[in-house]
Amino acid sequence: MNIQDSYNEWSDIYDSNINLTRDLDSTVTRNLLGNRRFESILEIGCGTGKNTAFLAQIGGHVHALDFSAGMLAKAREKVKAGNVRFETADLTKDWPCRDRSYNLIVCCLVLEHIKDISPIFSEALRVLKPNGKFLINELHPFKQYGGTKARFERADQTVEVEAFVHHISEFIHTAEANGLLLERFNEYWHEQDPGKSPRLASFTFTKG
């Protein structure tokens, strides 16, 4: 099953599954951005809207993209804010966004499913306004080294979603090669992770 079909199928139970990484991402996103306000926000890979409702509270306008029809249907059901616009898009191709349009891009638990992340950063540079921010939260590569992948249960079967390992240095160097500079990096553990590898890697890049 390809990545798009996997997320279409997962969409019905994504919000109700036990998923510590999803929950930690939501907490980290709110903690990092809760005291900020942005005129325009682009959310790439919005999924079921787990962070979109929050972004609508801190943004004047939110443009939320995803390639999964199932995920977008759930997001539209969940998020009714008038300042949010959902749109179907393949992030590996040109984004349906104007140049220099957004103060903030948010990308959470998405890039592990994209083999070549360089076009993501080049598109981010194109659509960000000067001094715009690019927040990325990803499953930590340390977890991936141990075999952890996005997965869900279907009947009596576990479905693993295809993923690619991107090292910490790859995120930083690819961003720099595309004109985005690292402003903040941190690692996060869920409260149920004591003594384990970090669960989440978080980067904030800035367009000069």
CATH number reported for the structural domain that contains residue 178 in this entry: 3.40.50.150
Range of the domain at 26: 3-183
What is the domain count for the chain? Answer: 1
The whole-number pLDDT of residue 127 equals 98
The whole-number pLDDT of residue 6 equals 84
The whole-number pLDDT of residue 36 equals 97
Residue 188 included in any domain: no
Residue 189 included in any domain: no
Residue 104 included in any domain: yes
Side chain identity at residue 131, one-letter code: N
Could you tell me how many helices (H) and strands (E) the chain has, helices first? Answer: 7, 9
> Nearest to residue 29, comparing CAs of 85, 104, 127?
104
Strands (E), 57-192: 59-66, 84-88, 102-108, 128-139, 151-154, 157-160, 180-188
Whole-prediction pTM: 0.95
Low-confidence ranges of the chain (pLDDT < 70): 1
